[in-house]
Each structure stands twice: as structure tokens, then as C-alpha cells.
Structure 1
Amino acid sequence: MEGESDLRRWDELIPDALGLIFRNLSLQEILTVIPRVCKSWGKAVAGPYCWQEIDIEEWSNRCQPDHLDRMLQMLITRSSGSLRKLCVSSLHSGVMFSFIAENAGSLQTLRLTRSEMSDSIAEQIAGRLSAITFLDLSYCSKIGARALEAIGKHCKLLVGLCRNMHPLDTADKSSQDDEANAIVTTMPKLKRLEMAYNVISTESVLKILSSCSKLEFLDLRGCWNVKIDDKFMKGNFPNLKVLGPLVVDFYEINDWEDCSDYSDGSEYLAWEILAGEMGDFDDDEIYDDGMYDGRLEELELRFYDGIDEDAGIYGWPPSP
């Protein structure tokens, strides 16, 4: 047809453009379908174009540890040193923590939720995570103040830290004030800090507020020992959004419009966050200073090697 020659074929798109498109597909589709379409598509997913950001957090929650290690090693190898974001959960192997650190030259965002990282492992790898700006160590029950101190000393660009815990993991702890003190002494540039269900005192929170002068969001849900007056917070930290310590069930709130009028003399709750501002403080928020660029972090990049044999290993049927 006339004018048809002006249209560019899909298989002629540059690998970078194909990589952006493939990011919208599932991990299974990229593994079993895309490489079989044509040589150019297979080449695109085999190169680093798609893998500057790797998010396998959901998948890793339901796979076997040995499968997870193999997957992660293949993904990071494919990134060829360009990895900027990594999200993985339930990581057990100390070897894999070291492997991540060895390939973290460009890594800015790292989520290692529910991992088996220890204080000693954190101390060993922290020096190679110097480019990190956002770190999530939520539900990592085997680390403590030593790990946070090592991370804070080496990760000078850190502006976001998630250290949320499950209530059952902290039920037998008398105090986690040492972790709060590690944050106070080593992480002055924090803008976002999440410490839900940590056993910390009011004094430790006040030290954090004093030391981390750039703090914009603080999650204290379930930190029952913390008592902060509403008027004190608004008078001294008017630009700081605080969530908690009070935990309110969504279904117990009858009228969202009245939430902003809620007040408690001993516990401060930023209702405007619950009422709709949480999107403004997403983990992948864009900060003005450029150290924490969230625009790329909204994209999920998923891929691993082994088109035929590994598909069966990971429990996926071969592509049609």
C-alpha cells in the first residue's frame, strides 16, 4: 500500500526502545515468549537494555531459595554493571548478598525485604553500596544497630530508609533505641524514614528529629512507647509528615472528611496522609536535589536466562 514503506517495522526498533516496551510485560512473558518472536527481540532481552531496574520482589516471595539465587545471578549478570534498582525479597544466601554488592556500582535503590542478612554481612558489603540513595530493610529480623551503623557510615547519599518490622518480630525485644541512635549518628540526610512497629522511645524519636533536619516523612505506626504532642510537632516541625504512633483500622473510620479534625494529646497522627496524600510520599519520590530520581523507579524490569530448560524449573510451561 502507498505510504506503507514509511512505517518502521517492530523488529527494526533499536534495542533501547524495545527494552522500554518489554518492561510492561510479565517476567514469564519475557522469558518464554519474547525471545521466540524474532532475533532482534531476543537480542534486546539478552542485553542490558531492559535490566537497569530489576523488580522480582513479588516472584521471590513464592519461589525456592535455590531458584531465587539462580534467577538473581542471571538477572544481575545481564545488567552488565548498569543496575540502578533492585527489589528482591526473602534472600537467604550470604553469597548472593556479596554478589549484589559486587555489582552495585550504579545501584541507587535497593529493597531487600524479609532477607536473612546479618550484622556481619551488612558490615562486609556496606562499603560497596556507596551509591545507594534508598534502602529497604523491612522485616529483616537478623540485623540491628551494627548493620545500620555500617550502612550509614558508607552510604553517604542515603535519603530514604525503610526499617518496618512485623509486631511478632519485635514482641520479645525490650528496646531498639540502639538502632535509632545508629540512624541519628550516621544518616543526617534522610528525607524519608519508616520505623513501623519498632520498640523505640520518645527520646530516640526526638534525637532523630533533631539530627535529621531534612526529614519530610516519618512512619511511627505501632511504636507504642512514643508519645509526641500534636502541638509540639506542628510548632517545631511544621513541614514534617508523621504517621502514627496510633494505628487506625481503615474500616473503623466512618467519615474520611472528618479525619483531619482528629486530635490526641499524647499521640500524633497525620490524617492528611491517610486521607489521600500518601501518593506524594511514595518510596520512589522525586527529590529536587536529583539524588533520588523516582521517575525511572516506576518501571519494572523483569528477565532471566534459560528459555527452554529453566522455564520448567521455575514452574512455567513452555511458550505456545
Structure 2
Amino acid sequence: METAVQESASAAPAPSWADMETDCLVHVFRRLDLEDLAAAAPLVCRGWRRAAADPSLWRALDLRRDHVARFMPWGALAAAFARRYDVSRFTFAGFLRICVARARGSAADITLPPLLASPAAELDHISLQCPRVRRLALPKLPAGDEARLPELIPRWPLLEHLELEAKPSSCFPDIAAKLALYCPNFASLKTTGSVKPEDAVALACSLHRLRSLCLDRSYLPRRELLAILVGCREMRKFSARSCVGFDDKDEEVIRRGARIERFEIGGSSRLDEFEDEMATGDELCDSSYVDVM
């Protein structure tokens, strides 16, 4: 009798992946890239399609990870869409909208590469469809699209971290004011560019509750740096590495930064020292290059 039971058990077919509970599939699918979730998993069977559409899989939309070449029209992802969905023209904007739609308003972390053909339209779409964003990283935007950021900020009341590849040249104080007014949990900013006196005032006054600030490879004059350090009393992490405008051995700067748990200013130099290095023809490595605006 025992032998018959064993033989019957051994003859039973192995459980099918298609029959796996949706919650289990969702847990497995968390290891997949976004393109696999969009263009591969949904086509296996109905169960996989249902699991791949779970909004929790689309809360973190990191579209800058790896290399932007994967979003090019000649890439594997475009080929997959053409083959499986009969899409004749693949665009990054289209893929972005698929990701946003799958998130169903739950996207909390969005990172965009510099591939937006119409940044204003896509940012407007994200601001309306993703009101629960907590972390947002944006590529360098055209001046006209930068100017729209202040009016979009109020649509992200839960925003905690903002990363701007290039600091907006004219509207940064307005952005800071809107962050202070509409985003009560905002605590972290990362950007690079020319820090003007009005920008330093905006950081020290509007964003004085910042806990983390990264200004690596910026033009950051000593006076503006000190104003930021004096005004942002709750800072726990500050980074201004490889900047131009102040000396990383400046005693007052070091004293002001001593209260900050993680204070990094290595590789920074005064403007005259930077100009001397350029005049000598010394080759500057990537980590020390600064675009002085």
C-alpha cells in the first residue's frame, strides 16, 4: 500500500508556474527589470499578466539605471515591443507612460534619463498621475521646461528628495519656496551648477530644514557656502566635493561644517587656483572638472 502511494506521488506532475498564487509571483517578479515586466512576463499566461500588473512592482521607476542605450529604437526592448505588441515605432515616452499607467498612482520613486523628447508634457503627465512621489530625479531640462518646475512642485506633497542634474539657472529660488510651502517632508536635495547669492539665500531661508545637500562639482563661492552652512542648521549630510569657489582647507568653512555628521568638501579650490591649473595646461580628471557658469 505504501509503495503504491509513493508511486502515485512520484507520478503526479510538478506544479506549474502558471498555477502559482499571484502574491508569490509578484514576490518573484520583484527581481525583474521594468522592461521584462512590461514586454515579457505578461505574455506567458493570464496568471503572469495579472501578477505583472500589480502596482507594487511599479512603485520604483528607475529608468536611468544601466545605460540609456537600452531605450534606443534599435535596442532589444524596442525589438521586443515590435515583436510582441506589433509596435512599429518605439519611443521612451511611450514606455514611460506604460510604467506610469501600471503604477496606478502608487509610484514613489522616479528617475528619468535625458531621453524626453517633450519634457514639459511628460513631467506634467507624471505630476498628475503620480501624486505620491517621494523621490524624483530629473535630467538636465531646457530653460523653458525648468521654468515650469515651480508650478509642478505642489502636485507632489509627499516629496522628500529631489535630484536635478543641472540646477535651474533662473527659477531655483522659486522652486525652493514651493518645496518649503507644499512639501513638508522635503529633506534632501542634490544638484550641480552655479550657486548664485539668491540661490544661497533660498537654501538658507526656504530650505533651512534640509538634512542632506549635495552640490558636488558646482561653482560655489565661499560667501554662498558659508551662508548655506549658517542657515541650514539641521543638516546631517553635506557634500561639495570638487567645487570651484572656496578652498577645502579654509578654516572657517571647516569650523562651520564640524557640526555636520558627514561633511565632504575634498578637491574644492578657489577660482584663482582653478584658473591657474587651467592655464598650466594640466589635464583635469572627471572628478575635478567643474563647469563654471
Structure 2 length-normalised TM: 0.69
- Secondary structure of 1:110's counterpart equals strand
Match of 2:48 among 38, 41, 54: 41
- Which residue number corresponds to residue 154 of structure 1? 182
Is the 2:176–2:207 Cα contact (8 Å) retained in structure 1? no
- Within the alignment, does 1:32 sit opposite 2:52 as a pair? no
Q: Which has the larger radius of gyration?
A: 2
- Within the alignment, does 1:217 sit opposite 2:237 as a pair? yes
Match of 1:196 among 210, 216, 226: 216
How far the C-alpha of 1:15 sits from its partner, in A, is 3.3
Q: Over the residues paired in the alignment, what is the CA RMSD in angstroms?
A: 3.1
How far the C-alpha of 1:12 sits from its partner, in A, is 4.0
Tell me the distance in 1 between the aligned counterparts of 2:66 and 2:110. Answer: 13
Q: Which has the higher contact order (CA 8 A, sep 6+)?
A: 1
User: Structure 1: which amino acid aligns with 2:191?
Assistant: R
Is the 2:41–2:48 Cα contact (8 Å) retained in structure 1? yes
Instruction: State the Cα deviation string for residues 102-132 of structure 1 (Å, max 9, x = none).
Output: 1232111111133346343112101111100
User: Structure 1: which amino acid aligns with 2:65?
Assistant: E
Q: Where does structure 1 lack aligned partners over 5 or more consecutive residues?
A: 249-320
How far the C-alpha of 1:153 sits from its partner, in A, is 3.1
How far the C-alpha of 1:142 sits from its partner, in A, is 5.5
Q: In the superposition, relative to structure 1, how do residues 136 and 35 fare at CA in structure 2: closer, same or farther (>3 Å)?
A: same
- Within the alignment, does 1:88 sit opposite 2:88 as a pair? no
Is the 2:212–2:235 Cα contact (8 Å) retained in structure 1? yes
Is the 1:226–1:245 Cα contact (8 Å) retained in structure 2? no
Is the 2:213–2:237 Cα contact (8 Å) retained in structure 1? yes
Q: Where does structure 2 lack aligned partners over 5 or more consecutive residues?
A: 1-5, 74-89, 270-293
- Secondary structure of 2:189's counterpart equals strand
- Secondary structure of 1:161's counterpart equals strand
Number of aligned residue pairs = 239
User: Structure 1: which amino acid aligns with 2:52?
Assistant: V
Tell me the distance in 2 between the aligned counterparts of 1:247 and 1:200. Answer: 9
Tell me the distance in 2 between the aligned counterparts of 1:197 and 1:130. Answer: 29
- Within the alignment, does 1:244 sit opposite 2:268 as a pair? no
Tell me the distance in 2 between the aligned counterparts of 1:231 and 1:183. Answer: 19
Instruction: State the Cα deviation string for residues 255-290 of structure 1 (Å, max 9, x = none).
Output: xxxxxxxxxxxxxxxxxxxxxxxxxxxxxxxxxxxx
How far the C-alpha of 1:99 sits from its partner, in A, is 1.0
- Which residue number corresponds to residue 163 of structure 2? 136
How far the C-alpha of 1:234 sits from its partner, in A, is 5.2
How far the C-alpha of 1:141 sits from its partner, in A, is 5.3
